Chain A
């Protein structure tokens, strides 16, 4: 098993799928000659040429729509949107066309595109380059949303997403492209639906996704070593559809739930997971579920303010302690 960085895992998935199927293409800003802002398509332009590795103009709605149109005829476009903030510009085509065309055509057409984009806050990129948009995507019928927390998931989710008949949005993270992790040498396809218990525990469940899985794991270590509390950590790699059974199973075991999310709390992953807990296993709870979320502000530039706007490992630990005390 090789250790790959997150970007290398994504690059490998692209490469394998493009080698297999001449209808797989990738497109986006600076992904070709320049190899991609996060190197996710490095070297592919030389290998597959400009017809299949397409440097697009800075026209997010336009090139996303173009990819969707091509997908109607069987082309499998992997569209990189350089920053999720720019995906707002492509929302018309993603929501109004890709997510709805199968339904409104009575099943005649489908848009099997993959849109990959880094979300999350990085370091001092300011309000317009720090959006966390997963909450927006996950509320749309007809669109699958996944979010890898490890290189293995980044590889396997992209592989499955390219093959899947549905449009899939993959929410990556600006700060995770250099994260290292083991990826099996053999080809594999990660499920697009489900969740994974990444740390077993008995006292409380910490739900995370993408970068917040790592925060939850760090908090679980602190809780175990310093407080004797064994937290279970569940990785919600699928944000749409959320894994109702997986969420209920863990809460039914630990009887306490905290959702750790990098985004603002309103109408988000946390509020949705709480609703599922209410619907599926309310009477299993020993305490009210909590959310550890960002503060509801546009992300500020100042380093100290930026840090204050985002949840930290300590916030997760404190939330667990306050919940256990009740």
Chain B
């Protein structure tokens, strides 16, 4: 990875951070409703893995902490923000909300709100890819706590039995909502749980995007070459509570302080500065540029977009004018 790529990744992570922080403010201002699960702290995971894949071409599916995954696949941040604002111009036309960002054109196959729900969907996407004979792959991002659902085991088993081109990425932030992993999970290292399915697995630092990228490259190459599924565990940390309704009182301040020293943006920034590839001024300008873009383009678009029409409440429940509903000649 050259210096220009690293700077671009730094900007993408910083953009994700500022985007999510702005979501927080908009939530407090009551511009965003419902549940809101934010990504700060975990940026190197989605961005690092997708950097090793083909964003917009490989299929991606995830849970409800989904804004950054969609943006990395190619979604317009304005359209994502408009969805959070519940607007007709949003990615799901205001019908989905934060937990259900979809962008099928960029092959972001959705955010889903049932923990563990996407595991089999990702395997099914991989099955379809295999039937069509394409060299795309299916990538599923979920957290460590999802691995305690039955769908985790059912899906790994099927993915291996049928050698499906699916990469399961586990973003291990050590908490399932508010319960720490040791208190809910018999085997804390998630990659070890996968050996029961004879699927290759690795665990790496999820805070250093270069490490993530290198590990993801190995994983993606394995899956794309037709060798079947792969499981990649990224050790990470979310700075905020599980969602906006989470007081975050269950975590020790000392733990949070320790992890703040392992911030993915600061790690890469400092490395670039040390190598003489970035100056403090450049970084500041980058940050200002991002904040301006969000404030001058993203938020105004979401604010000024129209609400969905109440007359269209029942649109999208079923297909419109599907001829097969009425049958045909006998």
* Residues of A participating in the B interface, judged by any CB pair closer than 8 Å: 22-23, 25, 51, 54, 56-57, 59, 61-75, 92-93, 96-97, 101-110, 141-142, 144, 156, 160-161, 163-166, 184, 186, 188-193
The answer on a CB contact under 8 Å between B117 and A191 is: no
Q: Does the CB pair A103–B95 fall under 8 Å? A: yes
Residues of B with C-beta under 8 A to A64: 120
Given A61-B120, A73-B129, A105-B110, A160-B325 contact (CB < 8 Å): yes
Could you write out 25 A-B pairs with CB less than 8 Å apart?
A: A51-B130, A54-B162, A61-B151, A62-B155, A65-B117, A65-B124, A66-B123, A66-B124, A66-B127, A69-B128, A72-B121, A73-B129, A75-B131, A96-B112, A97-B114, A102-B316, A109-B102, A109-B104, A141-B317, A156-B330, A164-B322, A164-B324, A165-B322, A165-B324, A193-B325
Residue ID in chain B nearest A152 by CB atoms: B330
CB contact between B155 and one of A66, A105, A107, A193 (< 8 Å): that residue = A66
User: Looking at B91, B123, B318, B322, which has the most chain A CB atoms within 10 Å of its CB?
Assistant: B318
Bound CA–CA A51/B117 (angstroms)? 24
A220 to B202, CA, bound (A): 68
Q: How far is the CA of A164 from the CA of B324 in the complex (A)?
A: 5
Residues of B within 8 A of A (CB): 59, 61, 90-96, 100, 102-104, 109-110, 112-114, 117, 119-132, 138, 150-151, 154-155, 157-158, 161-162, 315-319, 322, 324-330
Asked whether A92 lies within 8 Å of B330 as measured between CB atoms, the reply is: no
* A160, B330: Cα distance in complex, Å: 12
Select B124's contact among A70, A105, A109, A141, beta carbons within 8 Å. Answer: A70
Residue numbers in A under 8 Å from B92 (CB-CB): 104-106, 108
| CB–CB A59/B324 < 8 A | no
- Residue contact A188 to B124, C-beta cutoff 8 Å: no
Q: Which residue of B lies closest to A51 (CB)?
A: B131
Within the complex, the shortest CB–CB distance from A102 to chain B, in Å, comes to 5
Closest 6 CB pairs of A and B: A69-B124, A62-B154, A65-B120, A106-B93, A188-B330, A73-B128
Q: How far is the CB of A56 from chain B (nearest CB, A)?
A: 7
Residue of A67, A73, A141 with highest tally of chain B CB at under 10 A: A73
Q: Min CB distance, A50 to chain B, in Å?
A: 9
In the assembled complex, which residues on chain A have CB atoms less than 8 Å from the CB atom of B125?
69-70, 72-73
Partner of B326, one of A71, A101, A193: A193
Q: Are B330 and A184 in contact (CB under 8 A)?
A: yes
Nearest-Cβ distance from residue B15 to partner chain A, whole angstroms:
24
| A51, B125: Cα distance in complex, Å | 14
Known: A75-B131, A106-B94, A108-B92. A69 touches B154 (CB 8 A): no
Q: How far is the CB of B51 from chain A (nearest CB, A)?
A: 24
Q: A66-B123, A70-B127, A73-B129 are in contact. Are A105 and B104 (CB under 8 A)?
A: yes
Please indicate the chain B residues that have their CB under 8 angstroms from the CB of A66 in the complex: 120-121, 123-124, 127, 155, 158
Evaluate contact between A166 and B322: CB separation under 8 angstroms: yes
Which residues of chain B have C-beta atoms less than 8 A from A184's C-beta? 330
Task: Say yes or no: A106 contacts B157, CB within 8 Å.
Answer: no
- B96:A65 contact, CB within 8 angstroms: no
- Closest approach, in angstroms, between the C-beta of B113 and any C-beta of chain A? 8
A181 to B151, alpha carbons, bound, how many Å?
Answer: 40
- Contact indicator B131/A23 (Cβ below 8 Å): yes
- Whole-angstrom distance between the alpha carbons of A61 and B132 in the complex? 24
Q: A71–B95 contact, CB under 8 A?
A: no
Interfacial chain B residues near A69, Cβ < 8 Å: 61, 120-128, 138
Q: Using Cβ atoms and an 8 Å threshold, which residues of chain B touch A106? A: 90-96, 102, 316
**Given the interface contacts A102-B319, A106-B90, does A156 sit within 8 Å of B104 by beta carbon?**
no
Partner of B158, one of A57, A142, A188, A192: A57
